[in-house]
Amino acid sequence: MPYRCEFCEKTFKARSRLECHSRKHTKPFKCKLCEKAFRIKSHLIIHLRYHTGEKPYQCEQCHKRFSVLSTLTAHRRSHSGEKPHKCDLCPKSFGTKHYLQAHRRFHTGEKPHQCDQCEKAFCIRSNLLEHQRTHSGEKPFKCEFCEKAFSTRSNEAKHRRIHVGEKSFVCTYCDKAFIDNSRLQKHTLAHLKKTVHKCKYCKETFDNLNVWSVHLKAHRAEKPFKCFNCEEAFGTKVELAIHRKIHNSAKPFSCDMCTEAFATRYALTLHRRQHSAHYSCKYCDRIFTSSAEWSTHIQEHLALKPFKCEYCTEAFSFSYDLMKHRRVPH
C-alpha cells in the first residue's frame, strides 16, 4: 500500500521516504531566534551559527574562520589560485560549481529566486534573503560593541571596524588605509584621475602605461568568441559582430590575380593557393605557376609524335602507345 502525502498527493513506497518528503511542506526545524524554519536539522544548525557568530572551520594558512565547511573549501582555493570551473560563455573561471552556476545567470538573465512579497527576482539566493529583510525589517547581525543591528553581515562587519579601528583596505599608491572598500575606491580615483588608461575590453583602468599595455595584450591573446561560419575567433563580442557582417554581405574579398571574389578572408586565402601552386610536367619535368600555362604545354607534348612505327606510317606521342601498337599484327 503506497504512502500518500497529505499536502501534494505524491505517493511513496516507504513511510520513511514520505516523512522525508513531508518536511518540504512542514519545515519542522524552527529557529528560536527568528521566524525561519528548515526541513533538515543540519540546515538549522548552520543557520544558528549566523545568530551566534560561531565559526568552527578555520583556514590553516591565514587562520580565517567560517561557519560552513563548503565556504572554507572555496576559500582555500583563493590561496592555491585553483579555479577548476570555467564559464563556457566568457573567459571567467571559478573556485566552486555554485559560483559558476550563479555567474552563468548573468549571461542568461535567469532570476530563479523571486520575492513572495513583491515582483522582484534575483540571480543569487543570498541577494533575495537580503532583499526580504527590507520587508520584514529583520536585522539578525548585531554589533558586539554597541546596540546596533544590521540586515546584512557585510554591513555589520563594516560597522565593527569603526570600534576596533581596523583599516584593512590599503591603497596601493600611497599606503593609506580605510575601514571599507567603498572608501578605498573613492580615494583611489583621486590617483587614477591624474593619468587614466582604460581597457576597452573590460573597462578596468590603469595609471601605468606599461601595465595597461600588458593587460591589453592578455585580452588579445584570449579569443573566446568564435565565428560559426569560418575559423576566425575574437576577443570581444563586438569584434565578432563586426566580422559576422562579412558573411551576411556580398563577397568583399576579391582576388588580385583573377576576377574571383569571396565572402571571407579565409576562403580568399585558400583560393590564392591555387595561383601560387606549382604545376609540373610529367613528360619533361618543367614547372609552371599557372594552370593555364601548364595545360598549354601539355597540349604541345601531345601534338608531338616522335615514336614512329617501323612497320607502318603510324606515330605516337608516348613510347608505351607505340609498344601497344606493335602488338597488333602488321
11-34 confidence digits (pLDDT tens): 888 888 877 777 777 788 888 888
Nearest to 306 by CA among 314, 297, 293, 315: 315
In this prediction, residues 159-185 reach a mean pLDDT of 73
Q: What are phi and psi of 7, to 5 degrees?
A: -100, -40
Domain boundary among 55, 82, 109: 82
CB-based burial label for 13 (10 Å; 0-12, 13-18, 19+): exposed
174 domain-assigned: no
Task: Give CA separation, 175 vs 128, 165, 170, 212, in Å.
Answer: 36, 16, 6, 21
Same domain assignment for residues 28 and 78: yes
- The answer to whether 119 touches 136, Cβ cutoff 8 Å, is no
pTM of the model: 0.33
CB-based burial label for 232 (10 Å; 0-12, 13-18, 19+): middle
Task: Give CA separation, 48 vs 31, 96, 129, 144, 271, in Å.
Answer: 7, 24, 15, 17, 70
> Containing domain of residue 69, as a range?
3-82
Same domain assignment for residues 239 and 297: no
Instruction: Look at residue 168 and tell me whether its pLDDT is greater than 70.
Output: no
Bridge partners of 86, per DSSP, are 93
**Higher-scoring residue by pLDDT: 290, 214:** 214
In this prediction, residues 299-319 reach a mean pLDDT of 76
123 domain-assigned: no
Number of domains in the chain: 3
Bridge partners of 287, per DSSP, are 280
Same domain assignment for residues 231 and 266: yes
Report the C-alpha gap between 304 and 284 in whole angstroms: 13
Residue owning grid cell 612497320? 311
pLDDT band at 245, cuts 50/70/90? Answer: low
Domain boundary among 252, 271, 290: 271
173 domain-assigned: no
- The answer to whether 65 touches 71, Cβ cutoff 8 Å, is no
Query: What residue type is assigned to position 204 of the chain?
Result: E
168 domain-assigned: no
Contacts of 155 (CB under 8 A, 6+ apart): 141
Same domain assignment for residues 32 and 63: yes
The domain that holds 307 is classified in CATH as: 3.30.160
* Whole-number pLDDT of residue 192: 62
In this prediction, residues 176-184 reach a mean pLDDT of 78
pLDDT band at 101, cuts 50/70/90? Answer: confident
93 domain-assigned: no
Contacts of 100 (CB under 8 A, 6+ apart): 85, 86, 87, 93, 94
* Whole-number pLDDT of residue 193: 62
* Whole-number pLDDT of residue 187: 80
99 domain-assigned: no
